Amino acid sequence: MSSEPASTRSPLAEAYWRRRADLLRLFAARSGARDEAEDLLQELFLKIDAIDAASIANPDAYLFRLAMNLMVDHQRRRISRQRRERLWSTESFALDNDRSSFGEAPDAGVERTETVMAIATAIEELPVRTRQAFRLHKLEDLTHAEVAQRMGISKSAVEKHIMRALRRLLPLTEDR
Amino acid sequence: MTEAKPLPTAADVRSVAVGWALRIERQDMDDAGWVEFTGWIENPDHLAAFEGVQRRLGLIDRAVTAPAPTATVAKRSGPPVIWWAAGGGLALAASIAGVLVLAARGMGGGELEFDAVSEARTVALSDHTEVALRPGSVMTAAFDGRHRAVKLRPGSEAAFDVSKDHARPFEITIGQRLVRVLGTAFDVNYQPDVTRVAVSRGVVEVSSPGEPERTVILTAGQALKIRQAGADWSTHSVRPENVGAWRRHRLIFNNQPLSEVASEITDATDVAVEISPAAAALRFSGVLKLGSAAEMANALQLFLPVRAKAMPGRIVMERRRISP
């Protein structure tokens, strides 16, 4: 699909162009916004362009590692940015505003909003330490190691808390 | 020789997809894991399942920054109680109160005002913190995922029983000062001329954001008095049972020197009570009905060999001579 001649591409760039459509789908699913997914793909491309791909044994695996980490990092950055922006903001919290304030995809309707509210409630109901770990990680953009330090517990304990939170919250997101 | 293996169901695929997504979320998968994942996701069904899990994780991401809890005011007989709840919690709050629910959603950007006009009232906040407001008090509260912030207007007194939540410190702004707590019980009396913070359980930090060096940590049984005008911050001890005594309308003493009894009466009434040296060694055990300083000093005369004299702006207690 690209205009670039195949011979000049690194194996990593080959993998990128081959898996680009799949990655776009995943980025869009996670961020809920197509244009954000496109931006992320662009960021990914700039990253792989700067990498010396000669020593990479499995370009596809390497590409997915870069892409998925970028996606997870991006979500965390976005969450902590949104939190800063909305802290003490005086905007109305009416449900109708959710679309604009969350950057919700245009196809997301009221049901989606209700799901988000149900999850928000479930987060409140998590055990205190689990909720604390989950919030520090997601809201303050801290790595598991940083959360561990902040809470005075081991990194594996933090992982358990985060995994417990996600396992508890995921069922609420099932399509009905 | 080969046994027919049952084909994985959609549910199987989905649960494998969840497993992968959670491993990836941890961001510490090794090379072998990535090679295996890349192979797994070649399959279009697997890709679709994984895409579905990412969509669901995206919803959770959005929920993390979901708006501050919306508020409902539930009316019922007895003192009014305010329930804060997020989303699905609304229905729950309504059913507990069992009656009329007035939506107050989006009120002033998530800030709610509580006042106790002519009678004391107790407010239950969404985090199970209870605040008793003395008549004439006004408090505003703004909670979100990260903060629990309340403000008191001058002239207010409130006794707090704060629920523990280390992720969300409870902060009370009183004029230029900030009281910061993590699950504890204490009383804040914010008057135009003097502010008093007394702690009955846990630890409270009082600071003046403008003057970082002025930070006082109070533990149970300690009180801080701040004269608004000057730089006069002084701490003294209180009986934890007597913190927020105005709620129970009584002061309790257990074998305490008269000087401590006097200082608690002063705390409760803002009238200076002086003890003559001869009376200082007397001790008192008992319960005083909370009233004016003069009333309480008079009551003490019934229990101890003391005489209370009312002077302008203060009360002096002297040792009474036993008549021959």
For residue B120, the domain's CATH number is 2.60.120.1440
C-alpha span between A154 and A126 (Å, rounded): 19
B230 assigned to some structural domain: yes
Domain boundary residue among B218, B242, B266? B242
Residues B193 and B119 both lie in one domain = yes
- Provide, as residue numbers in chain A, all residues whose Cβ is less than 8 Å from the Cβ of B66: 116-117, 119-120
Contacts of A142 (CB under 8 A, 6+ apart): A136, A150
B304 assigned to some structural domain: yes
Domain boundary residue among B189, B215, B242? B242
B301 assigned to some structural domain: yes
Residues B109 and B233 both lie in one domain = yes
Spans in chain A with pLDDT lower than 70: 1-8, 83-114, 175-176
Domain boundary residue among B242, B259, B290? B242
Residues B166 and B258 both lie in one domain = no
Question: Strands B148-152 and B177-181: what pairing?
Answer: unpaired
Residues B167 and B238 both lie in one domain = yes
Torsion (CA) B5, B11, B14, B19 in degrees, nearest 10: -70
C-alpha span between B185 and A118 (Å, rounded): 31
Closest to A30 (Cβ–Cβ): which among B58, B67, B105? Answer: B58
C-alpha span between B294 and A145 (Å, rounded): 61
Residues B129 and B212 both lie in one domain = yes
Best A36, A81, A85, A88 residue to mutate vs chain B (most B CBs within 10 Å): A88
pTM of the model: 0.46
Contact A144/B at CB under 8 A: yes
B99 assigned to some structural domain: no
B90 assigned to some structural domain: no
Closest to B58 (Cβ–Cβ): which among A31, A98, A122? Answer: A31
Number of domains composing chain B: 3
B228 assigned to some structural domain: yes
Q: Look at A170 and B105 and tell me if their CB atoms are within 8 Å.
A: no
Asked if A96 contacts A110 with a C-beta cutoff of 8 angstroms, the reply is no
B1 assigned to some structural domain: no
> What residue of A is the nearest CA neighbor of B167?
A132
Residues B216 and B324 both lie in one domain = no
Residues B163 and B266 both lie in one domain = no
The residue type of B91 is A
Q: Look at A29 and B54 and tell me if their CB atoms are within 8 Å.
A: yes
Residue A125: CB atoms within 10 A of its CB come to 11
Contact A173/B at CB under 8 A: yes
B200 assigned to some structural domain: yes
Residues B286 and B307 both lie in one domain = yes
Question: For residue B76, which phi and psi values (nearest 5 degrees)?
Answer: -160, 170
Asked if B21 contacts B54 with a C-beta cutoff of 8 angstroms, the reply is yes
Residues B28 and B48 both lie in one domain = yes
The boundaries of the domain holding residue B319 are 63-81+249-324
Contact A153/B at CB under 8 A: no
> What residue of B is the nearest CA neighbor of A123?
B64
Residue A9: CB atoms within 10 A of its CB come to 15
Strand partners, B178: B173, B207
One digit per residue, the tens of pLDDT, for chain B of length 324 reads 445 566 677 778 888 998 899 889 888 889 999 999 999 999 999 999 999 999 989 888 888 776 533 333 222 233 322 222 222 222 222 222 222 122 222 233 456 777 776 677 777 777 777 888 888 888 888 887 778 888 988 888 888 888 777 778 888 888 888 888 766 788 888 877 788 888 888 778 888 777 777 778 888 888 888 876 656 788 888 888 778 777 767 787 777 888 888 888 887 787 889 999 888 888 888 788 888 888 888 888 888 889 988 888 889 999 887 654
The residue type of B9 is T
C-alpha span between B172 and B134 (Å, rounded): 16
Task: Count Cα neighbours of B102 within 13 Å in the Cβ-side half-sphere.
Answer: 9
Give the domain CATH number at B290: 3.55.50.30
**Which A positions 38-97 lie with beta carbon below 8 A of chain B?**
57-58, 60-65, 68-69, 71-72, 75, 78-79, 82-83, 86-94, 97
Residues B45 and B69 both lie in one domain = no
Contacts of B309 (CB under 8 A, 6+ apart): B315, B316, B317, B318
